[in-house]
Amino acid sequence: MKDILLVVTGSIAAYKACEFTRLLIKEGFNVHVAMTEAATKFVGEVTFRTLSRNPVYIDQFAQPLDWRPEHVALAELCETAIVLPASADFIAKMAYGLADDGPSSVMLAHRGRKIVAPAMNDGMWEAPATKENIQKLQGRGVEVVYPTEGELACGKAGLGRLAPLEDILKIVKGK
Ligand SMILES: Cc1cc2nc3c(=O)[nH]c(=O)nc-3n(C[C@H](O)[C@H](O)[C@H](O)COP(=O)(O)O)c2cc1C
């Protein structure tokens, strides 16, 4: 079974990561979920623990499963890491190499394949800062699954909707 890291961040689209966990499991992956504190405001840890059948990594100072810091263990265990949904804030943190919580620490320590699936309001997506951050990540070989146009959580239509899960799954399986 292939281990995969699924990082869930603080976007309203976090609920879609529940279904994505299920799809990954159906494809035979062993899914390890890491959630930011903001993500836990949108979806409960217990949902991911139950769906993934693995402990969920949130707090980097919590007691690790063994003596090794969990962010290092997870980074080394999972060849592929996908951030879904990726918030504007988390993308910025990745672009700048910040590691101030469990999920950002594991992403910085991770040496393998990285996929980012952004989801946000169109203003956030089109902001010059976000565009620069996305370019920075792509320049380092991070695969970005572009958001699509459609109805946004803010109540209007625009560019920023999480790409369809089936399309993201194809990209994950593509290599
Ligand atoms: C109701 C609500 C919905 C939000 N949806 C999004 C979103 O879809 N995308 C995004 O980038 N930020 C969104 N935010 C803002 C983020 O949650 C906020 O920037 C947070 O600090 C991100 O933390 P993270 O780095 O842990 O993801 C939303 C905030 C609220 C209150």
CATH number of the domain that 149 lies in?
3.40.50.1950
pLDDT at 152 over 90: no
Q: Write the residue with the smallest CA distance to atom 29 of ligand 1.
A: 11
pLDDT at 103 over 90: yes
Q: Write the residue with the smallest CA distance to atom 19 of ligand 1.
A: 89
Q: In angstroms, what CA-CA distances link 130 with 91, 126, 142, 172?
A: 8, 7, 15, 23
pLDDT at 101 over 90: yes
Mean pLDDT, the chain, as a whole number?
Answer: 95
pLDDT at 113 over 90: yes
In sign, the C-alpha dihedral spanning 125, 87, 108, 167 is negative
pLDDT at 47 over 80: yes
CA count, 13 A, side-chain hemisphere, 81: 26
pLDDT at 65 over 90: no
User: In this predicted structure, what is the pLDDT of residue 175?
Assistant: 58
Our answer on whether the CB atom of 9 is closer than 6 Å to any ligand 1 atom is yes
Q: Write the residue with the smallest CA distance to atom 14 of ligand 1.
A: 11
How many domains are there within the chain? Answer: 1
Our answer on whether the CB atom of 11 is closer than 6 Å to any ligand 1 atom is yes
- The domain of 88 spans 2-173
Active site residues: 154
Q: Which of 51, 140, 52, 57 is nearest to 91 (CA)?
A: 140
Tell me the two tokens of residue 4.
Answer: 């995969």
Split at pLDDT 50, 70, 90, the class of 36 is very high
The CA 60 to ligand 1 mean position distance, Å, reads 20
Mean pLDDT of 45-57: 97
pLDDT at 67 over 90: no
Mean pLDDT of 55-67: 88
Mean pLDDT of 151-171: 92
74-100 per-position pLDDT tens digit: 999 999 999 999 999 999 999 999 999
User: In this predicted structure, what is the pLDDT of residue 162?
Assistant: 97
18-33 per-position pLDDT tens digit: 999 999 999 999 999 9
Of 11, 105, 122, 148, which is best to mutate to test ligand 1, by the most ligand atoms within 8 angstroms of its C-beta?
11
Q: In angstroms, what CA-CA distances link 83 with 7, 65, 157?
A: 5, 22, 23
pLDDT at 8 over 70: yes
